[in-house]
Amino acid sequence: RIKASGLKLQLCTNETQATRENFVRKLRAMGFDISVAQVTAPAPAACRLLRERGLRPHLLVHDDLVPEFAEIDKTNPNCVVLGDAAENFTYANLNEAFRLLIGMEKPVLISLGKGRYYKETDGLKLDVGAYMKALEYACDIQAEVVGKPAKRFFESALAELGVPPEQAIMIGDDIVSDVGGAQQCGMRALQVRTGKYR
């Protein structure tokens, strides 16, 4: 209905378990007419940041997200990029990220989000934010968040739409990442009573 109304639409997702292409494929299978260009996601934002700063990441992300970083130099890492790694969030993998960060003169931790949890069909699951906080605490550092609710993330979505914040509305199920993040950017926001909402 939104497309039929002539309004512009940009999907803002903190999806970090799949590439944008796979995310769009799932949406199309459900009947949504969406293109990759209509999806703002954390991984491309992280890649831009890595290129801008000449950073070479150690990736602690879901295996299905790794292709988003295919063109990024990962030799001799000078930062850690953290996403929702799901089953890859093992003690060994977290400890490897910790050791890399603690061994850096100026540790850089880039997190693709800071959500606390999300809902799956089998129940609630810890999100990347819980693991980000563990590394922040252990290394006494502050992570740079490139996904929701970061202002830069919403500014990127607005740039894709070509509209100022006061002409946009964010609709989401997360009071902090969706609603709060959008409001921090000057947008109006609406929380839906589905998904995470309780």
Residue 30 inside a domain? The answer is no
pTM for the predicted model, two decimal places: 0.84
Residue 137 inside a domain? The answer is yes
Percentage of the chain lying above the pLDDT 70 cut: 97
Instruction: Tell me how far apart the alpha carbons of residues 128 and 87 are, in angstroms, rounded to a whole number.
Output: 12
Taking only the tens place, the pLDDT of each residue in 84-104 is 999 999 999 999 999 999 999
The tally of domains found in the chain comes to: 1
Residue 173 inside a domain? The answer is no
- Higher-pLDDT residue of 141 and 147 is 141
Taking only the tens place, the pLDDT of each residue in 47-57 is 999 999 999 99
Eight-class DSSP state of 143: P
Residue 53 inside a domain? The answer is yes
Question: Does the pLDDT at position 195 exceed 70?
Answer: no
Percentage of the chain lying above the pLDDT 90 cut: 80
Residue 179 inside a domain? The answer is no
How buried is 135 (Cβ within 10 angstroms: 0-12 exposed, 13-18 middle, 19+ buried)? Answer: buried
Sign of CA dihedral 83, 181, 19, 67: negative
Q: What is the CATH number of the domain that holds 128?
A: 3.40.50.1000
Angle (CA) 48 133 180, round 5°: 70
Give me the domain span that covers residue 123. Answer: 42-145
For the chain, list the strands marked E by DSSP.
11-12, 39-40, 57-60, 79-82, 109-111, 117-120, 123-126, 144-145, 169-172, 188-191
Do the Cβ atoms of 185 and 153 come closer than 8 Å?
no
Residue 181 inside a domain? The answer is no
Question: Does the pLDDT at position 70 exceed 80?
Answer: yes
Q: Which residues pair with 82 in a beta bridge?
A: 60, 111
Residue 176 inside a domain? The answer is no
Interior/surface letters 52-63, b for 16+ CB within 10 angstroms, e for the rest = eeebebbbbbbe
